[in-house]
Chain A
Amino acid sequence: MILYFAKSAEITGLRSETISVPQEIKALQLWKEIETRHPGLADVRNQIIFAVRQEYVELGDQLLLLQPGDEIAVIPPISGG
């Protein structure tokens, strides 16, 4: 399950969606998968970070081991406080 927030939610027009990907996938590959579905996200690629099971993960070579139902949040630059 991919969760979208703030700018990324505005670009995709979605708060969440379920997609199917290999159980083992690199963070950057997952991003490319998402970007293919929502080309508008290319604009913010350099500012995004993932939160996989609520832990921050950069869009790089880190290998993600995913289980069905895992939440992956698309995190634009935060601005709380």
Chain B
Amino acid sequence: MLSLEISSSCFNQETKLLAFEPSRKDMDEVEEKSKEVINVTTEKLPVDEVLQLVISPLCGAVSLFVGTTRNNFEGRKVISLEYEAYLPMAENEVKKICTVFHGLGLVPPSEASIISAVSSAHRAASLEAVSYAIDTLKAKLPIWQKEIYEESSSWKGNRVLWGIQQ
């Protein structure tokens, strides 16, 4: 049993943090509550905060995926990654999936660019779900990563099949 679904989102100007939060469904899935939260955060993506959003006494497992900026790509030194997003559509796509925090703007090496978290009653579902979530997010979220090297930069494109439709 997964506690995912409907999310609200907030955008923090200061740190360019894009946060999608799930609302919680009761175990018998009768009532859906959504919450609007304005986040004021430090510069880095808040792993603790993400965990607090998904942890629930009803769930015995939480799986977390954290994507961080790597300092090299194909032999070239990466100074930073820069993220750009089509925000309203990204929100709608994520609503179908799980809790995601994605960095926007500059994300230097070793910093987290994405945190995806899923909680469930037992670990198999949560591990599988977070893996599915990150794969699906990479294929569907309208977010772009620009690799900034020492002397140049280029927009990266994931190998995705556009034929994957909902």
Contact = CB atoms under 8 A, between A and B. Distances in A.
Interface centre among B89, B90, B141, B145 (most CB of A within 10 A): B89
A58 B163 CA distance: 9
Contacts of B90: 80
Nearest to A73: B86
Interface residues of B, number: 30
B67 A81 contact: yes
A5 B86 contact: yes
Given A6-B155, A49-B162, A56-B165, A80 B144 contact: yes
Contacts of A47: 157
Contacts of B77: none
A78 B136 CA distance: 12
B88 interface: yes
B24 interface: no
Chain A to chain B: the 7 pairs with minimum beta-carbon distance, closest first: A77-B157, A80-B143, A6-B144, A81-B138, A79-B156, A79-B145, A54-B89
Interface of B: 67, 83-86, 88-90, 92, 102, 113-114, 134, 137-146, 155-158, 160, 162, 165
